[in-house]
């Protein structure tokens, strides 16, 4: 197995193609045109950048340990990198859409799924401040695409633009999955239909309408208070709503300039958790707790419990945080 080169040397000078995606309401196409060409392999490439290459699967799990191989693969076929977290419903939903699109494009791409909690080096290298974050790698160079949920039609358009950019760099090869022959008799996967209010919430999340999504999950809980999916969905979309429209610098600078502003500190904790820095988020909240009056303590307690629902109450970081909170309460 090839050792992974230092990430810093491979992920510098990322070309920002965020202009490809105009985060407008669903149905609005991304901005026409493309970003500047990626520097590196000249247009036209060489023989190694064309033809077919065999890979274990068109959908792979990228890790801190194996990413060097994916960087090498990107000189033959574009690699889409999806940074996600199992506790984030929008990111798991996006992974499903990406898997469907990538496998349907006959080897024009390889998808690398990177779980940020277990691959902190890659999360830092791709500057993933929230999940999901999606990028491409072409000839070893990163191309930032978008973060947050996006409609399937818009993702398809972005992938088409990435193919154009790859062609400019001479990367026109295809990937052939070695497991394709084994799957001659694929077992059809039948998705369980979503309950109506969950489906409406998902649609609203794709459109960036977090208020509607929150209302749909609240309605689902009013009908069934034991709906654990709705509990998690409401917590996750509430986190997205609190961060919506705010930049990382605004949040961090606001907290630094107003250390006694509880809402500003809570928002930094939201930001930390959304970027996978879960221990940092809980530490911040627990350290704030002792100095707060009773209303502030209750606010912090409620926020911690809500963040438990975001990451899942079975997450191994929940139990020690719950113990620390109990020690502060009693």
- pLDDT mean values, one per 10 residues, the chain (330 residues): 33 38 32 30 42 89 90 94 90 92 92 91 85 92 88 90 88 82 47 83 86 95 93 91 88 92 95 87 95 96 95 90 93
What pLDDT was estimated at residue 1? 29
219 in the same domain as 316? yes
Among the listed residues 95, 103, 72, 104, the one whose alpha carbon sits nearest the alpha carbon of residue 5: 72
Domain count, the chain: 2
Stretch (H or E) spanning 55: strand 52-55
User: Which of 177, 208, 228 is the endpoint of a domain?
Assistant: 177
- Ramachandran angles phi, psi of 220, nearest 5°: -60, -40
> Is residue 224 in some structural domain?
yes
The pLDDT assigned to 191 comes to: 57
Residue 98 lies in a domain: yes
Q: 294-311 and 318-329 are packed helices; what angle lies between their axes, rounded to 10 degrees?
A: 170
Cα 81 to its chain centre, rounded Å, is: 10
Query: Does the residue 239 lie in any domain?
Result: yes
pLDDT attached to residue 36: 29
Residues 154 and 205 in one domain: no
Same domain, 148 and 243: no
* CA gap 311, 324 in Å, rounded: 17
**Within a domain: residue 88?**
yes
Residue-level pLDDT at 117: 87
The CA distance from 95 to 59, in Å, is: 10
Strand order in the sheet with 15-16: 15-16, 141-147, 133-138, 79-84, 110-115, 59-61
Q: Are 166 and 129 in contact, with CB atoms under 8 Å apart?
A: no
Q: Are residues 233 and 167 in the same domain?
A: no
Q: Are residues 139 and 210 in the same domain?
A: no
Query: Measured between alpha carbons, how far is 275 from 128 in angstroms, rounded to an integer?
Result: 6
Do 204 and 290 fall within a single domain?
yes
200 is written with which tokens?
């409406």
Shared-domain flag, residues 169 and 253: no
Half-sphere exposure of 318 (CA within 13 A, CB side): 12
pLDDT for position 168: 83
- 236 and 307, same domain (yes or no): yes
Task: Let me know whether 209 and 128 are in one domain.
Answer: no
Query: In the listed set 177, 210, 229, which residue is the last one of a domain according to the structure?
Result: 177
Is residue 16, in this structure, part of any structural domain at all? no
Q: Answer yes or no: is 250 within a domain.
A: yes
pLDDT score at 120: 84
What's the pTM?
Answer: 0.63
The pLDDT of residue 27 is: 30
Q: Which domain holds residue 325?
A: 196-329
Which pLDDT does position 318 carry in this prediction? 93
Both tokens assigned to 126:
């791709």
Residue 104 lies in a domain: yes
Residues 152 and 231 reside in one and the same domain = no
Looking at 146, 177, 208, the residue that finishes a domain is 177
What is the CATH classification number for the domain harbouring 101?
3.40.30.10
Residues 149 and 67 reside in one and the same domain? yes
Residue 8 domain flag: no
Judgement on whether residues 163 and 211 belong to the same structural domain of the protein:
no
pLDDT for 230 equals: 92
What confidence score (pLDDT) does residue 182 get? 44
């Amino acid at each position: 197995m090839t050792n992974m080169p230092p990430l810093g040397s491979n992920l510098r000078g990322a070309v920002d193609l965020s202009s490809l995606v105009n985060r407008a309401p669903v149905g609005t196409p991304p901005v026409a045109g493309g970003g500047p060409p990626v520097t590196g392999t000249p247009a036209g490439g060489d023989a190694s950048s064309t033809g077919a290459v065999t890979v274990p699967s068109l959908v792979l799990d990228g890790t801190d340990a194996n990413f060097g191989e994916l960087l090498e693969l990107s000189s033959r076929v574009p690699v889409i990198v999806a940074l996600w977290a199992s506790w984030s419903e929008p990111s798991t939903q996006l992974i499903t859409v990406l898997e469907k699109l990538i496998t349907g494009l006959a080897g024009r791409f390889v998808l690398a799924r990177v779980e940020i909690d277990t691959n902190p080096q890659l999360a830092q290298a791709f500057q993933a401040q929230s999940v999901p974050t999606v990028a491409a790698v072409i000839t070893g160079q990163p191309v930032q695409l978008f973060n947050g949920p996006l409609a399937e039609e818009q993702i398809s358009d972005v992938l088409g633009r990435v193919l154009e950019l790859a062609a400019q760099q001479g990367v026109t090869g295809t990937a052939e999955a070695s497991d394709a022959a084994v799957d001659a008799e694929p077992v059809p996967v039948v998705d369980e239909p979503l309950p109506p209010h969950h489906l409406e919430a998902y649609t609203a999340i794709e459109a960036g309408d977090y208020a509607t999504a929150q209302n749909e999950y609240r309605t689902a809980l009013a009908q069934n208070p034991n709906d654990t999916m709705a509990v998690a969905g409401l917590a996750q979309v509430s986190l997205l709503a609190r961060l919506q429209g705010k930049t990382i610098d605004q949040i961090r600078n606001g907290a630094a300039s107003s250390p006694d502003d509880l809402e500003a500190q809570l928002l930094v904790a939201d930001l930390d958790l959304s970027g996978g820095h879960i221990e940092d988020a809980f530490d911040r909240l627990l350290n704030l707790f002792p100095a707060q009056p009773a209303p502030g303590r209750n606010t912090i307690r409620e926020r911690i419990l809500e963040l438990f629902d975001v990451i899942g109450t079975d997450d191994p970081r929940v139990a020690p945080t719950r113990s620390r909170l109990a020690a502060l309460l009693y």
